[in-house]
Amino acid sequence: MTPTEASRLLDAFARGETTRDEVLRRFQAAPVADLGFASVDLHRELRQGCPEVIFGAGKTPAQVTAIAQKIVQASGRVLVTRITPAHVRPFQRKFPRAKYHEAARLLAVGPTPKPQGLVAVVCAGTSDLPVAEEAAITAEFLGARVRRVFDVGVAGLHRLLARLPEIQEAKVVIVVAGMEAALPSVLGGLVSRPLIGVPTSVGYGSNLGGFTALLGMLNSCATGLTVVNIDNGFGAGFAASRINALAAD
How far is it, in rounded angstroms, from Cα 174 to Cα 233? 9
Judged by CB under 8 A, the chain residues 203 through 232 that form the site for its own copies are: 203-208, 210-232
Contact segment (CB under 8 A) with its own copies among 69-77, 89-97, 106-114, 238-246 equals 238-246
74 forms part of the interface with its own copies (CB under 8 A): no
Query: In terms of CB distance, is 97 or 221 closer to its own copies?
Result: 221
Site string (11-50) toward its own copies, x via CB under 8 A: x-xx-x--xx--xx--x---------xxx-xxxxxxxxxx
Site string (115-144) toward its own copies, x via CB under 8 A: ---------xxxx-----------------
C-beta atoms surrounding 72 within 10 Å: 17
Contact segment (CB under 8 A) with its own copies among 71-79, 85-93, 105-113, 158-166 equals 158-166
Contact segment (CB under 8 A) with its own copies among 69-77, 87-95, 107-115, 201-209 equals 201-209
Is residue 113 classed as helix, strand or coil in its secondary structure? coil
Q: How far is CA 40 from CA 32, 33, 34, 132, 195, in A?
A: 6, 5, 6, 28, 33
DSSP state letter for 37: S
Among 71, 121, 139, 181, binds its own copies (CB under 8 A): 181
How far is it, in rounded angstroms, from Cα 208 to Cα 85? 27
**204 conformational bin, left if phi > 0, alpha if psi -120 to 50, beta if neither:** beta
193 forms part of the interface with its own copies (CB under 8 A): yes
Yes or no: say if 104 and 233 are a contact pair by the CB < 8 Å rule.
Answer: yes
